[in-house]
């Protein structure tokens, strides 16, 4: 289960950061608690919001009021003596996003926030979305876990496909890690978004502080992605062939993008850095203690500097 130390509710434009989510509430013995959606605030890009904001001073460093005419235009009142807020910043996107809060449940020392996201029309510009929820101060010390199982970016849909459809054909291990790198993209048709790239699956077992690769492979090609109301999904994958058909199939699939693909696939230093970066993200998302990875018969390489 992927945890995140923030939750959200109301949709505002601007700001971005990476998020980690859980896909279910593991312990069903929980009870719902009330929450309030904070309306008519906007992110000012001056500060970096913390997971939980418990003081008015810290809140004002990151958010400003967006007052408009009428009663509905007034910002939601927040009493930091009795309440705290939790904010969440979605990645930037050319697609309109609408966040729908469903419920907040408390169990032990954890709050589970269930929500869904609807993806609207493509825009001619990038938007970044932030949302805020107000909760009673009684629950201020509890960890907040997002509960969602949607793919709201192309890359999330690609990673899910690689794990579920490509990873199943390799010898299994503790961790199935997808890697990807974009060569080009054509998202003019939301029913068939074309994503040319290099894609890998590596399966690792953790031994001490090292992730040891037990299986995996490279799968360059063209992913076909469809936009749905609830996000994105891979609907087809044109893979470059092996053996004698490798070169002709690569040229056919990548077309005028072949030179860019060839340059990327031939750069060993670039590939090493890509693995370091994305494996570091995976380890952080899954709370892994490993700091190195090791391919078979090769020395281990640090992907994360260990703490002293």
In order of 45, 85, 129, the CA distances from 48 in angstroms are 7, 14, 14
| Chain position carrying tokens 């697609």 | 95
* pLDDT, tens digit, 9 for 90 and up, residues 107-151: 888 888 888 888 888 888 888 788 889 999 999 999 888 777 677
pLDDT exceeds 50 at position 35: yes
Q: What is the pLDDT of residue 278?
A: 94
Q: What is the pLDDT of residue 19?
A: 37
Helix (H) and strand (E) counts in the chain: 5, 18
Q: What is the pLDDT of residue 307?
A: 52
Residue 3: pLDDT band with limits 50, 70, 90:
very low
Contact indicator for 180, 279 with CB cutoff of 8 Å: no
Q: What is the pLDDT of residue 7?
A: 32
Crossing angle (nearest 10°) for helices 258-265 and 246-254: 130
pLDDT exceeds 70 at position 308: no
pLDDT exceeds 90 at position 167: yes
Return the CA Rg of the chain. Answer: 22
CA proximity to 30, closest of 20, 22, 40: 22
Q: What is the pLDDT of residue 305?
A: 64
3-state secondary structure of 296: coil
Residue 24: pLDDT band with limits 50, 70, 90:
very low
* pLDDT, tens digit, 9 for 90 and up, residues 244-264: 999 999 999 999 999 999 999
Contact indicator for 167, 199 with CB cutoff of 8 Å: no
């Amino acid at each position: 289960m992927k945890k995140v130390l923030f939750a959200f509710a109301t949709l505002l434009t601007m700001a971005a950061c990476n998020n980690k989510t859980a896909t279910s509430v593991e312990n069903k013995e929980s009870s719902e608690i009330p929450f309030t959606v904070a309306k008519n605030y906007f992110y000012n890009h001056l500060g970096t919001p913390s997971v939980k904001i418990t003081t008015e001073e810290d809140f004002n460093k990151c958010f400003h009021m967006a007052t408009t005419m009428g009663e509905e235009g007034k910002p939601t009142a927040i009493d930091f003596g009795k309440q705290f807020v939790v904010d969440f910043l979605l990645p930037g996107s050319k697609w309109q996003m609408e966040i729908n809060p469903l419920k907040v449940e408390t169990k032990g020392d954890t709050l589970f926030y269930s929500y869904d996201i609807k993806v609207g029309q493509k825009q001619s510009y990038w938007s970044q979305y932030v949302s805020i929820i107000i909760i009673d101060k009684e629950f201020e010390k509890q960890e907040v876990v997002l509960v969602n199982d949607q793919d709201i970016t192309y890359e999330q849909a690609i990673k899910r496909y690689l794990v579920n459809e490509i990873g199943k054909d390799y010898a299994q291990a503790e961790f199935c890690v997808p890697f990807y790198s974009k060569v080009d993209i054509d998202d003019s048709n939301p029913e068939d978004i074309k994503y040319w790239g290099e894609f890998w699956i590596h399966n690792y077992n953790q031994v001490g502080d090292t992730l040891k690769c037990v299986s995996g492979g490279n799968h360059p090609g063209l992913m076909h992605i469809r936009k749905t109301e609830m996000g994105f999904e891979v609907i087809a994958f044109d893979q470059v062939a092996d053996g004698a058909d490798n070169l002709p199939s690569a040229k056919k699939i990548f077309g005028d993008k072949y030179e860019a693909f060839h340059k990327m696939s031939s750069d060993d230093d670039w590939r090493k850095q890509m693995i370091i970066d994305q494996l570091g993200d995976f380890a952080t998302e899954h709370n892994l203690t490993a700091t190195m990875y090791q391919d078979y018969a090769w020395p281990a390489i640090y992907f994360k500097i260990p703490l002293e």
